[in-house]
Structure 1
Amino acid sequence: MNDSPGWAKPGSSPSDGERPGTESGAQQPAEPTPPAGDPKWSAEQPPPGQWSSPGTTPPEAPQAQPQPTTGWGPQPGTGAPQTGQYGPQYGYPGAPGQWGQPPAAKPGVIPLRPLGLGEILDGAVATMRTHWRAVLPITLVVATVVQVISVIVQKFMLDDLAFATDPNAGPEEIFDSLGSTFAASAVVQLIQVLGTIVVTAMLTMVFSRAVLGQHSSVSDAWREARPQLLRLIGLTLLMALGAILLGAVLILPGVLAESVGLAVLGFAVWLPLLVWLGIKFTLASPALMLEKSTVIKAFARSSKLVKDTWWRIFGITLLTTVIAFFISGMIVAPFQIISLFAFSGGLDAMADGSGMNSWGALIAPAIGLIIAQTIVMPFQSGVTVLLYVDQRIRREGLDLELARAAGLQNYGTTGG
């Protein structure tokens, strides 16, 4: 009988010469062979590996105490995986008698156990493929709205750059052009951030249901995400504000002192510190949405879950970002080429800045960005949510709660 809640096929037994509770490789006494025709022996004998001492009754395995279901919130008194849950198992299907871990329950897109890199990436893709009726409309609508607004902003805020088209432009014209460029970029980035927040909030709910094997609709995702939306906006803006203030403290003194070396040193300190804090709080968003917590508690939860696994989460996040970058580049590049040669007047026009804000030059790349964001945003959001789930399974035994929520009976009990 297994020590931990496994899902191995019934009937698997330890290999010959090995028994649960003994040292590996210890020799066991040979089983007695019933002599033919001896009346002291019963004609029907128990199968090998299940003998018990005469006159003794095998002790019953202790039953796991049921725990109250509290949803996605942190479980009281849980700071480590459940005892014996991921310990060694005896045998696995297809190879009886060898050491191994039986397959975990998989009610949804991931198995209910600590996840590997491939399982996290596959879970994100599987959710996009299986639950596309909820994922696709959310990302497509938000990406379209964001790009339409961005195109309009760029059209009416970005005239041809005066200092590029007019070689006799003075400092005032150059300053005005740069100011318009910065203002338009800031508005576009703000729109992108707000759109990303909405997508993240709704997709978090879709992925949380996909883990349980449950389907979501767009209306369900919106109804569940809406109460936490303002808090998610506050969390995102607080992170952005913190990054800006940190940069100002480290870089601004060198700029004000007109010291290039001091400014470069400040930037060299600011960038890795920003990355460290970004990974440290990368799980704050799913913690906020799924645990219905406050902004401060979400930051604290992310910090606790990431502790001692920073490099692993950094590596997975970096790989996800690189994959998303290449996917976006491959999709957007053809549209940018079309925009350049069909609507912008070619390389000469790009060099002098003329024709870059025509309707065609703005719309063509926007179409590519809509397609790219429709694919990339759910992939990145899914990886973040599954990282959160993985960390809670590893630290708090969340798989037990997920199994109960998915309707799996007796999951987590000895011999289950």
Structure 2
Amino acid sequence: MAQDAGWGGGAYGGAPYGGSPYGGPPGWGGWVPPPKPGVIPLAPLKLGDVLNGAFSTMGRYWKQLFGMAGALYGGAALVMAAAVAVAYSAVAHHMTELTSLGYGEDPTSTDVVPLVIAGGVLVLLGIVVMSVVSGLMYAAVPAVLQEAVLGRPVAFGTVWRRAWARVTPVIGALVLTALIVIVPMVLILVAFIGVIISLVAMDDGGGSAGSVTAITLGVIGALATGPVAAWLWIKFCLAPAVVVFEGQRPLAALRRSAQLVRGDWWRIFGITLLAGLMASTAGYFIQMPFSVLGVFPGMIGTASLDDDPSAAAVIVAVSGYLVAALLGQLVGQIISTTFPQLVTGLLYVDRRIRTENLGPVLAEAAGAPAPPPPPPPHAGGVPQE
């Protein structure tokens, strides 16, 4: 849309807000703070600006953010619960047959195969559902930030439409990033397994030495791939925001993210790690009360079971605990997902302000007053000859 045109790629002229071109050189006393129409000042952001901006966005736009997250994760939970119920009703007889086997009795393939198929279908369905949910959330958060940075309201329906319109390229960017990060780790893992097999095949009674060598190689492999994976992940972490803010396709978004991160990797890594730790800690403490509350109905339900309960009876008995744990997981997931994405989106805005001087364009889009021009060279002092 027209008022969002300034979010696209490209560099912009002019000096950054808060710099001397707008307030004169040091000592003139005319420095003007950068405009702040929304949740952040339109100038290079410090750590406090990023965190305050993320918290402010959660406070001002909580209906859009938490409403979207609750609807998506709650809907995913209902879909998976319904799928589990259907799968259980389809294979309940086979599960009963397996659980009733006596000691030394082998299960038949007619009972095992349906359970394996049902489990595989549930796993695939879970992957698809969570991919869509994650894609929508990674698209919805930047869609909210587009307006939060400019200080404009945005309706829930608008956020939903923008997120749905960009969900496919966002999922593509996330999948490509995951593949790029995982590939070196998989290669090392394959080589590690090959070395273990070779050591076992060549072992002539020196099992202890072979095990030590295998463990050493595994540790070295983990130490080698961990930093590479972290470097790649941070390099491409801005790709979802690029997709939403600039309308880029997945591959172009990855290249654009790498361009924006260049020269500021350590700072982005530190802030991203801090945001993840803060969100994980908050999610853990949020889940604790739900887990404690779920213990009591679980204890009451299991106390009523007989000596040989069926699988259905066990599920019903612990259903209270499962529901409480699911609610705690849902609320914790909303927090631990939303906050880091807000921080990442603000880091994207920060990098564009620093490298492309996006601040004046955003101020114009927000209708913020333009900074005053610099004073003439002789203002407030002796005229120059």
TM-score, with length taken from structure 1: 0.69
Structure 2 residue 193 is matched with structure 1 residue 245: no
CA–CA distance in structure 1, aligned partners of residues 106 and 79 of structure 2: 32
Q: For structure 2, which runs of at least 5 residues remain unmatched after alignment? A: 198-213, 306-310, 376-385
Report if aligned partners of 2:17, 2:34 keep a CA contact under 8 Å in 1.
Answer: no
Shift of 1:336: 2.4
CA–CA distance in structure 2, aligned partners of residues 170 and 222 of structure 1: 52
Shift of 1:99: 7.0
For 1:120, give the aligned amino acid: V
Secondary structure of 2:370 counterpart:
coil
Shift of 1:71: 1.8
* 2:192 corresponding residue in structure 1: 254
* 1:303 corresponding residue in structure 2: 258
Q: For structure 1, which runs of at least 5 residues remain unmatched after alignment? A: 1-67
CA–CA distance in structure 2, aligned partners of residues 71 and 266 of structure 1: 45
**Aligned counterpart in structure 1 of residue 171 of structure 2, from 219, 225, 233:** 233
Structure 2 residue 7 is matched with structure 1 residue 72: yes
CA–CA distance in structure 1, aligned partners of residues 17 and 288 of structure 2: 51
What number of residue pairs does the alignment pair up?
A: 336
Structure 2 residue 71 is matched with structure 1 residue 116: no
**Aligned counterpart in structure 1 of residue 288 of structure 2, from 317, 333, 349:** 333
Shift of 1:199: 1.4
Shift of 1:197: 1.5
For 2:323, give the aligned amino acid: I
CA–CA distance in structure 2, aligned partners of residues 276 and 153 of structure 1: 38
**Aligned counterpart in structure 1 of residue 351 of structure 2, from 385, 391, 395:** 391
Report if aligned partners of 1:393, 1:399 keep a CA contact under 8 Å in 2.
Answer: yes
Structure 2 residue 225 is matched with structure 1 residue 287: no
CA–CA distance in structure 2, aligned partners of residues 387 and 340 of structure 1: 41
CA–CA distance in structure 2, aligned partners of residues 265 and 356 of structure 1: 43
CA pair 325-183 structure 1, distance change in 2 beyond 3 A: farther
Could you say which structure has the higher helix fraction? 2
CA–CA distance in structure 2, aligned partners of residues 274 and 183 of structure 1: 30
Secondary structure of 1:389 counterpart:
helix
Structure 2 residue 133 is matched with structure 1 residue 195: yes
CA–CA distance in structure 1, aligned partners of residues 72 and 372 of structure 2: 40
For 1:194, give the aligned amino acid: V
Secondary structure of 2:41 counterpart:
coil
**Aligned counterpart in structure 2 of residue 407 of structure 1, from 362, 367, 384:** 367
Secondary structure of 1:258 counterpart:
helix
CA–CA distance in structure 2, aligned partners of residues 341 and 246 of structure 1: 46
Shift of 1:289: 0.9
The root-mean-square deviation of aligned C-alpha atoms, in Å, is 3.9
* 2:336 corresponding residue in structure 1: 376
Report if aligned partners of 1:287, 1:298 keep a CA contact under 8 Å in 2.
Answer: yes
CA–CA distance in structure 2, aligned partners of residues 412 and 383 of structure 1: 31
Matches within 5 A, 1:121-132: 121-132=51-62
For 2:336, give the aligned amino acid: V
CA–CA distance in structure 2, aligned partners of residues 389 and 169 of structure 1: 63
* 1:267 corresponding residue in structure 2: 222
Report if aligned partners of 1:109, 1:213 keep a CA contact under 8 Å in 2.
Answer: yes
CA–CA distance in structure 1, aligned partners of residues 194 and 219 of structure 2: 13
